[in-house]
Amino acid sequence: MPVLSSLTRHPRVVVSLIALLLVAIPIGMLTHGHSAGPTRIGLSAAALPTSYAVSSTDADFARGTRTGVSSSGGALRISTPQGTRTWAGHTYEYGTWTSPWTTPGGTFTQAVPSWNAATPAGSWIQVLVRVRTGAGRTSGLENLGSWASGTQAIQRSSAGSQSGPVARVATDTLIATGAALTSYRITVRLMRMPGGSSPVLGSVGVVTATPPSTLPATSTPLRRTAFSLAVPTYSQMIHRGQDPQYGGGGEAWCSPTSLSMLLGYYRRLPKPAAAGTDRWVNVVARMTYDYAYDGTGNWPFNTAYAATRGLDTFVTRLANLRMAERFVRAGIPLEVSIRFSRGQLAGAPISATAGHLVVLVGFTAAGNPMVDDPAASSDAAVRRVYDRGQFERAWLGGSDGMAYVVHDSAHPLPGRPAGVRNW
CA distance 369 to 70: 45
Rounded-to-integer distance, Cα 362 and Cα 368, Å: 8
Averaged pLDDT score across all residues of the chain = 86
Q: Is the pLDDT of residue 8 over 60?
A: no
Least confident of 40-54, 178-192, 297-311, 343-357: 40-54
Give the C-alpha separation, 245 to 240, whole Å: 13
What is the structure's pLDDT at 48? 24
- Please compute the mean of the pLDDT values over residues 278-306 and round it to a whole number: 97
313: alpha, beta or left? (left if phi > 0; alpha if psi -120 to 50): beta
**pTM of the predicted model, to two decimals?**
0.88
Res. 45: pLDDT tops 80: no
Between the alpha carbon of residue 310 and those of residues 232, 298, 306, the distances in Å are 19, 20, 7
Kind of pairing between the strands at 334-340 and 402-407: antiparallel
Q: Residue-wise over 48-85: b if at least 16 C-beta within 10 A, else e?
A: bbeebbeebbeebbeebebebbebeebbbbbeebbeee
- Residues 202-214 pLDDT 10s: 888 889 988 777 8
Task: Answer whether residue 32 shows pLDDT above 80.
Answer: no
Please say whether the dihedral angle defined by the alpha carbons of residues 378, 406, 296 and 163, taken in this order, is positive or negative: negative
* pLDDT tens track for 124-154: 999 999 999 999 999 999 999 999 999 888 9
Query: What CA–CA distance (Å, rounded) separates 61 from 26?
Result: 8
State how far the Cα of 336 lies from the Cα of 358, in Å rounded to an integer.
Answer: 6
pLDDT band at 110 (very low <50, low <70, confident <90, very high): very high
Is residue 13 over pLDDT 90?
no
The interaxial angle of helices 254-265 and 299-308, nearest 10 deg, is 30
Distances (CA, A) of 418 to 49, 51, 123, 323: 13, 11, 41, 12
Q: Of 354, 325, 358, 330, which Cα lies nearest the Cα of 341? A: 354
Give the model's pLDDT for residue 42. 29
How many whole angstroms separate alpha carbon 259 and alpha carbon 311? 12
Nearest to 406 by CA among 290, 328, 321: 328
Residue 43, pLDDT score: 26
**In this model, does residue 44 exceed pLDDT 60?**
no
For residue 98, give every residue at least 6 positions away whose Cβ sits within 8 Å of its Cβ, in sequence order, or none.
64, 65, 185, 186, 187, 188
- Asked if residue 191 lies in contact with residue 88, where contact means CB atoms within 8 angstroms, the answer is no
pLDDT at 4 over 60: no
Beta-bridge mates of residue 418: none
pLDDT (0 to 100) of residue 268: 98
Encode pLDDT of 385-420 as tens digits.
999 999 999 999 999 899 999 999 999 999 988 888
More confident of the two residues 170 and 37: 170
CA distances from 355 to 61, 67, 176 (A): 37, 40, 22
- Give me the DSSP letters along 176-208: ESSSPEEEEEEEEEEEE-TTSPPPEEEEEEEEE
